[in-house]
Amino acid sequence: MSRDAPLVLGIETSCDETGVGVVRGEELLADALASSVDEHARFGGVVPEVASRAHLEAMVPTMDRALARAGIALKDVDAIAVTAGPGLAGALLVGLAAAKGYAVAAEKPLYGVNHLAAHVAVDTLEHGPLPEPAIGLLVSGGHSSLLLVDDLTGRVRPLGATIDDAAGEAFDKVARLLGLPFPGGPPIDRAAKEGDPAAIAFPRGLTAPKDLAAHRYDFSFSGLKTAVARWVEARQRAGEPVPVADVAASFQEAVADVLTAKAVAACREHGVSTLVIGGGVAANSRLRAMAERRCGAAGVALRVPRPALCTDNGAMVAALGAKLVAAGVPPSPWDLPADSALPVTTVSV
């Protein structure tokens, strides 16, 4: 990446991670993170007010760490990017207010960006320019979507999404049922390594022919979560031990199976030869392995960033910001609002 590629600082506060990243074009210079996840653990889910306060406390130190690690001063950046949505309203507001303050003080253009598009953009920091069109599979604690990405700086079309729980939410809820800590993805991933993925035939939501007709690229994980709950309860009622590793492996298998089957089908049916997977659940080892195998068989090039870039971070916001600057997209107005339900079709505000 040349020295004149845009130097962009990105701020992420949509959920429980305060992230500040610095990139030069597609080169990652710094990715500072402060997480309030431990403060939410005993509630079994993210508590919005707790997250907002934690962002407030972490913002300035995280910003200072990112600048120091990148070896730059704020005055050096070409632009500041910030997550404008979707996410928790109060949490987004903290990041947006900080970004506006820094941008005004340093007289830099400000880009309010879409968190979901940023989860796709982050992959460019690891694998270079994204071939377009690409199919994006976005799986996190709050979202599960299939996207047709014609142009990551402006034209992203939703093909489908979850009709109930997000994939990460299902991991978190099933972990709770199994007595595993929050967030549930990593401990289920670990427990599953010792289990048999074929031990229990859990349902694959929206894959029956009648469901596919109306929900070709949609997901549903609420029935799966209920099936796991019933199975576990039946064992407990019978006074038998719950085989945590087998339940974790079989549940994880069902999620990975549906996600990869629909993503590869979307590639095939839209004549697209690149699949990029992003979001916290993209850190899942079984999902990565299954996607690798199925994409290989279908002749689809698979791109999944390393796990640390899959979960929320500031570098992803900076990566999308740099693409917007390079494409000549105009910055956001100073009064840009936080939009907790920002549609994925709005890449920048």
Please report, as ranges, the residues that interact with Zn ion according to CB under 5 A. 140, 312
Q: Which of residues 189-228 bind ligand KG4 (CB under 6 A)?
A: 189
Tell which one of 85, 95, 186, 197 touches ligand KG4 (CB under 6 A).
Answer: 186
Q: Least Å distance between CB 31 and ligand KG4?
A: 13
Q: How many residues bind ligand KG4 (CB under 6 A)?
A: 19
Among Zn ion, ligand KG4, none, residue 81 binds (CB under 5-8 Å by kind): none
Residue 31 engages ligand KG4 in binding (rule: CB under 6 A): no
Tell me how far, at minimum, the Cβ of 191 lies from Zn ion, in Å: 23
How deeply is 65 buried, as exposed, middle or buried, from its count of CB atoms within 10 A (0-12, 13-18, 19+)? middle
Applying CB under 6 A, does 314 fall inside the site for ligand KG4? Answer: no
Nearer Cβ to ligand KG4, position 111 or 251?
251
Q: Which stretch binds ligand KG4 (CB under 6 A): 128-136, 205-213, 275-283, 337-345?
A: 275-283
Minimum CB distance to ligand KG4, residue 68 (Å): 24
Q: Which of 26, 246, 312, 339 binds ligand KG4 (CB under 6 A)?
A: 312
* Binding to ligand KG4, residues 119-178 (CB under 6 A): 140-142, 168, 171-172
**Which residues of this protein are in contact with ligand KG4, per CB under 6 A?**
15, 140-142, 168, 171-172, 183-186, 189, 279-281, 283-284, 311-312
